[in-house]
Structure 1
């Protein structure tokens, strides 16, 4: 079974984006490692922090709980600070992931790939799904880190299916619910995710919806995004989180249902 290393920008990104594939891979006997580029220090700060407890402390604890829910074998922190959204002054702060030298960050990631002798490395599409500076940097570090690895792994890029998102938005509008427009400019001015024609893999993770929910619940401090996801009715949650989508660089065009995480 392969060793798979997932690179995520912030603690909680694994829960919302790849926790289904992670749990499925664990269930099939793969070794699964999650690498967090940042400590998530610009996330939401909960009201119940204990004396002496920082937001970073809480988010590290939540990442551990998510790993326990998923079955993740190892957590690694690259050691960078959260860069905030596009245009925030934090983008250029010392220690921010977005402003870190690419060679430095990629070398840190490559060291993990070498330690694990990774077969597969997973990050994000070219604009990180919605343009967040840290997500964009994950894409860059994924590719450069794989080049620096002693044994370059096979690469997969997690993305959101823009065409499917349009269908979700239309169904929500038809049901009289407040919807969203996946074609509107996101954090970097580009629309959400990737057109289906540019996606290679649709991965069925519907058997792991319970695990996905537990992974999200682990990140309880992030009430806006995680709370919205956990507030979905069961049927909507299943439709939204029952499939994950991945780009495989260099693969012939065309999306197909399948499991790209096998041996």
Structure 2
């Protein structure tokens, strides 16, 4: 059995991006660790936040609740502030992840990798799927930390399959539905969503874990807009959107494997 570290930008990112793989890995006996770069300070503020409670405190509690759903053994934090979306004034916050030196953040992450003797590290693709500054920074810090770690972990990049999203959107339009979202359109950084299928290496079927994915999302109940949208999806739509998780892995031969990345050898 191995230790797998999932590195995410904000609490709740794990629920919509890797909760299926995290649940599967923990069920199979692997030690699952999630590391958050930020506290999600600029997320949605819930109506029931207590006068003495900060949003970051609430989101830490929610992250722990999500971990119980996925079977995650440890929740760790790098300690940076949420940077907000591209162009927000929070991008300039000296405490933000966006402003953190890559080497400094990588040292913090590498320390956790060493503590855990991590065999696998999961980060994001080169533009964090949709260009959020913190997601982009996760990519750079992931590879820098892997280089610093005493045991060089196998690195995978979580992403979205742009071709599948495009086909799904078109199918919905063909069925007469109004679909305003275009995965080929400019996202937060001006690039399209995710990566084309030709650049992907793993398609992991997590359809058996859809209830756990929903549970992880539900744990982040403070983020009403996003979580409410996901929870309102009909079962068939939810399964299509979250039943497969996609990853890129540098150094693998071209071509996407429909399988479980933990069945491949780890270093």
TM-score class, shorter-chain normalisation, is over 0.9
Instruction: Decide which moves more: 52-61 or 155-164.
Output: 52-61
Three-state SS of the structure 1 residue aligned to 2:253 is: coil
Q: Please tell me whether residue 48 in structure 1 is matched to residue 48 in structure 2.
A: yes
Query: How big is the shift at 1:54?
Result: 1.0
Provide the rounded CA distance (Å) in 2 between the counterparts of 1:125 and 1:11: 18
**Where do 4+ consecutive residues of structure 1 move more than 6 Å?**
none
Deviation at 1:167, TM superposition (A): 1.1
Q: Deviations over 1:91-114 (max 9, x none)?
A: 110110011001000000000000
CA distance in 2, matches of 1:253, 1:186: 26
Which residue of 1 is the match for residue 249 of structure 2?
248
2:262 counterpart residue number: 261
For residues 123 and 211 of structure 1, the distance between their equivalents in structure 2, rounded to whole angstroms, comes to 21
Range with bigger deviation, 169-178 or 235-244: 169-178
Which residue does the alignment assign to 1:198?
199
2:137 is aligned with 1:137: yes
TM-score (normalised: structure 1): 0.98
Give the secondary structure class of the aligned counterpart of 1:156.
Answer: strand
Pairs within 5 Å for 1:94-105: 94-105=94-105
Asked if 1:215 is matched to 2:226, the reply is no
**Aligned residue in 1 for 2:189:** 188
Aligned to 1:120: 120
Two-structure CA RMSD over aligned residues (Å): 0.8
SS at match of 1:214: helix
Secondary structure of 1:97 counterpart: coil
| Whole-angstrom distance in 1 between the partners of 2:103 and 2:161 | 30
Q: Please list the CA deviations of residues 122-178 of structure 1 after superposition, one character each: whole Å capped at 9, or x if unmatched.
A: 000000000000000000000000000011100000000000000111122123333
Kindly state the Cα deviation for residue 78 of structure 1 after the two structures are TM-superposed. 0.3
- Does 221-230 or 103-112 show the bigger shift? 221-230
Q: Aligned residue for 1:230?
A: 231
Query: How far is 1:47 from its partner?
Result: 0.5
> What is the alpha-carbon distance in structure 2 between the residues aligned to residue 13 and residue 178 of structure 1?
26
Post-superposition shift, 1:261?
2.2
Corresponding residue SS for 1:99: coil
Q: What is the rounded CA distance, in whole Å, between the counterparts of 2:254 and 2:194 in structure 1?
A: 16
Instruction: Measure the CA separation in 2 of the matches of 1:132 and 1:172.
Output: 27
State the match for 2:91 in structure 1.
91
Q: Which residue of 2 aligns with 1:146?
A: 146
Which residue in 2 is equivalent to 1:70? 70
Structure-2 separation of matches of 1:145 and 1:259: 24
